[in-house]
Amino acid sequence: MPKMDSIRNPVIRRIAEWAFWLVKIGAAGAVAVVILSVLMLGYSFIPVHIENPDGNTDYIWPAGSVWFRVTEGIGYGKFDDNGFNNPEVIEHPDILLLGSSHMEAQYVPQGDSVSAVMNDLFGGEHEVYNLGISGHTIFKTCQYLPKNIELYKDSVKYVILETFFVSMTEKDVDNVLNHTVQYSSSKHSPVMQFVNEVPGLRILDHQRKVGFVDLFKDSGRTTKVFSIDGDEYSSEVSASDLPAYDRLFGYLEDIEKETGVELIIYYHPTETFDGEGHILFEEGNAYEAFAAAAEAHHIDFVDMADDFVRMFNEEHHVAHGFCTGRLGIGHLNSYGHRASAETLVRVIREKDQAQKESGKEADADVND
């Protein structure tokens, strides 16, 4: 540093040396962020979500924006003009699909999602509109259910509510009924907005939140535990929380009666495997309480476990996980989406047929 040698004052010289090294470190960091951002364009390219002006979800995506991810499998698509993961807006859908990141389906090609496959199978018989958004658990979709039905009241006939777990507490149901389920805000400070808009900084911030070393740790858990908004849910729930199931399904039954819209709970449990490679699904008292409450309140409950076992035994595919990770770990893959779509189409056609037969019987009674 020849220029530094010309500075005779030792204090000023030391300050200048530190300033020089800080500039070098800052420049190196900036170059690293640029390189990481370029690399991220081929790994996870998604826009920054925005507030939902219609109030039927926490947030939406910028209209018409494209997305691409290889974080799990390979997924790509373009958000519709309403900010949801559909090829295009369906103005008058008769089936709404509400759910979490599994239904948002950013981990498979857009044409492989449950809603896309259902529309293909129906061939115009029904129109399915996907309103899935990451972070929207069964509690959040139940909270937003009345608003979604109101927005599509002129056409909606069925609403499918997706869930990948069946545990709940009294507090969860209180939040649903009081409309206080934890909200995912799209408002950020200028600094965090900048971080979200720069892919390299965004992925570093995400890794900071989940933990830089947690990915390399073994959880050591022997039972399935889901972590939702910082709370953990096991397949076993306490006796004091069992009444929560009756309260939640009573709320859903009241919505059915008030609106005439039929609700379908669609449950896709996560696979586990025993030492011999057999596929298993954990079913504790949470599952028993969930299924019993659904039956008691006449809410259709579609459990995909048997279909996933059949797919595994006959086609040797699992519903969750990708070649980029571990089998049975992560989001629904294309096989899981298609199996789910086929089952839901079958269920809805059976309901359509039952309604037709009921209508014929009613007409016969009138004529008699």
Domain ranges of the chain: 2-40, 85-195+211-367
The model's pTM: 0.84
Q: What is the DSSP letter of 216?
A: G
Longest CA span, the chain: 113
Identify the pLDDT of residue 168. Answer: 94
The CA–CA distances, whole Å, from 15 to 11, 20, 250 equal 6, 9, 70
Burial class, 291, CB count within 10 angstroms (exposed 0-12 / middle 13-18 / buried 19+): middle
pLDDT exceeds cutoff 60 at 229 = no
Q: Name the residue among 223, 354, 339, 337 with its Cα closest to residue 300.
A: 354
pLDDT digits (tens, 9 = 90+) for 179-194: 999 998 877 778 777 6
- Report the amino acid identity of residue 150: E
**Is CATH 3.30.420.40 the classification given to domain 85-195+211-367?**
no
Kindly report, residue by residue over 302-359, the tens digit of the pLDDT.
999 999 999 999 999 999 998 777 777 889 999 999 999 999 999 999 999 998 887 6
Confidence of residue 32 (pLDDT cuts 50, 70, 90): confident
